[in-house]
Amino acid sequence: MERLHDLGGTTIAWGLNNTGVIVGQSWSAEFGEPRAVLWENGKIRELGTLRYDNRGRSEGRDVNDAGVVIGLTVINPQGRIHAFAWTDGQMYDLGTPPGKNESLALAINNLNQIVGWGTDGYPNNDAFIWEQGRGMQRLDELSAPNARWRFNVAWEINDAGQIVGNGYRLGDAGTTVGFLLSPVDPTMALAAPAPGRAGESNTITLTGATPGATVQFLYSRQGGGTRIPGCDLQQNALQLDSPTLIGTAIADANGTASITRNVPMIARGQYVLFQAVVPNECAISQLVVHQFE
């Protein structure tokens, strides 16, 4: 065990990368508040804040292998907190999720994707992901439609883009559960049901499949996630909860497959979610949401 140097008071180490760089916070005798710090080669470095006079609180929460540090910092004398990214001696304000006035960055991967949470006062917390060129996005907005999930906090993200955190299903706010949110990579294109009317036969067509592949067509009333048998979650997963198999079809020489089924009148006015999958290839289509006339 090695004790880490401090700035004159209590220290907490929050994150460590594969090159041995450590980040955290240390109580500063100079500023009288905890400050974000970085430990490297046995030395401590104080990272400052985004307040105009460089005073106030900050915390270093994680660091990736490129040395990019993330955490939280005060931005004004009123004590408002924003997520930050620090690199090459410069601290940058990452902003807040839409509708929130404070944010905290908790983890970063080696693709510089950053996760954490924003708030405008407990319990109104929203988990976020920040990416270069896209800024800060709420995880609720990136999940499948009608998933009815509320993601409160994103605690960690790996290099595959998988995020873990805690949240709840709408209608069950008293039960907080952990979640694993995995990115999907659709490689096939699914068209909406045609003619799109209840009480008639409708055809769903898929393009972009491997010629000769067996395509499964699925539907559900609720978005979410379902594992594809034999496929790792880092390859792909369905964005449907409890999907029902409509039927299968063989893709032709052009990679096109279609299926026709009668849609009952009870479906009129209802939103239905569709997706196609080739299980032995772990290949999926994009999610289609359709309201039947």
Mean pLDDT, consecutive 10-residue stretches, the chain (293 aa), reads: 93 97 96 96 96 96 98 95 97 94 97 96 88 94 89 97 93 84 96 97 98 98 94 95 97 98 95 97 97 96
Last residue of a domain, one of 181, 216, 247: 181
Helix (H) or strand (E) holding 146: none
**CATH code, domain with 72:** 2.130.10.150
Element (H, E) at 142: helix 139-142
φ/ψ of residue 236, rounded to 5 = -175, 160
**Confidence (pLDDT) at 174:** 72
Token reading at 197: 């009317």
**164 shares a domain with 60:** yes
Q: Round to whole Å and give the CA distance between 57 and 54.
A: 9
pLDDT at 3: 92
Q: Does 83 reside within a domain?
A: yes
Residue 115 domain flag: yes
In a shared domain, residues 30 and 145: yes
Residue 207 φ then ψ, to 5°: -125, 160
Based on the domain organization, do 194 and 165 belong to the same domain? no
**What residues make up the domain containing 231?**
189-291
Output the pLDDT for position 173: 66
- 65 and 82 inside one domain: yes
Strand (E) or helix (H) holding 11: strand 11-16
Count structural domains, the chain. 2
Assigned domain for 5 exists: no
Cβ burial 78-117 (10 Å sphere, 16+ → b, else e)? eebbbbbbbeeeebeebebbeebebbbbbbbbeeebbbbb
Q: Which of 133, 159, 128, 285 is nearest to 215 (CA)?
A: 285
* Residue 27 DSSP label: E
Domain contains 236: yes
